[in-house]
Amino acid sequence: MSANDTIDPSRRDFLYVATGTAGVIGAAALAWPFIDQMRPDASTLAASSVEVDVSSLTPGMSLTVKWRGKPVFIRNRTPEEVKAAQDVALAELKDPVARNANLASDAEATDIDRSAGEGKENWIIMVGVCTHLGCVPLGQQGDFGGWFCPCHGSHYDTAGRIRKGPAPENLHVPAFAFISDTTIRIG
């Protein structure tokens, strides 16, 4: 090539763009397996919701199921337990927020807002993890007849509301729905 020869700038620009494009495609092809492996596997997606048959739970009985790796307490409360929870004034509560994924985040911790709702006030469904340090409370124990976390002494009432001890929040209520009179879908 001599000093008088000219190089076609459009061909050089094309080569730069083509080389850059090939590099980007190669980097994306190399990165995709690493990105793809971060997706949840099929067993995790299958566990995102669970259906529970509660037809055998008579008033006063509880059932614990596993959902997303956590225990979920399902209790068919007795009329006395429902009445005791309804009689508690909101001013007496340590945490006045319902913590119910089915309601607005600022819903008050009334018994009805903690339960399965009108007509199903006897049903309470809660994530069974103490809001203090993540222990699993024991059912139908403690000073208020609800749940008691023996690790640090948190006492919950029959609606799962923190009443005494170091736990800062009520037991959380997951998203759930009755899909029939005897079947609950959690998640």
Q: How confident is the model at residue 73 (pLDDT cuts 50, 70, 90)?
A: very high
- pLDDT tens for 85-144 read 999 999 999 999 999 999 999 999 999 999 888 889 999 999 999 888 888 998 888 899
- pLDDT tens for 160-183 read 999 999 999 999 999 999 999 899
Catalytic residue among 132, 152, 155, 172: 152
The CA distance from 53 to 178, in Å, is: 10
- Sorted by where each starts, the structural domains of the chain and their CATH numbers stand as 46-186 (2.102.10.10)
pTM of the model: 0.72
158 alpha-carbon distance from chain centroid: 20
Is pLDDT of 43 > 70? no
The pLDDT of residue 47 is: 61
Q: 26 vs 17, 18, 22, 29, 37, CA distance in Å?
A: 14, 12, 6, 5, 18
Lowest mean pLDDT among 11-15, 39-43, 68-72, 135-139: 39-43
Query: Which H, E and C letters describe 103-120, residue by residue?
Result: CCCCCECCHHHHCCCCCC
Is pLDDT of 152 > 90? no
Q: Which residue has the tokens 């208020």?
A: 144
Q: How confident is the model at residue 6 (pLDDT cuts 50, 70, 90)?
A: low
The CA distance from 178 to 171, in Å, is: 20
In the residue annotation, 172 being an active-site residue is answered as: no
In single-letter form, the type of residue at position 143 comes to: D
Burial class (CB in 10 A: 0-12, 13-18, 19+), 49: middle
Mean pLDDT of the chain: 88
**153: phi then psi, degrees, rounded to nearest 5:** 85, 30
Is pLDDT of 5 > 70? no
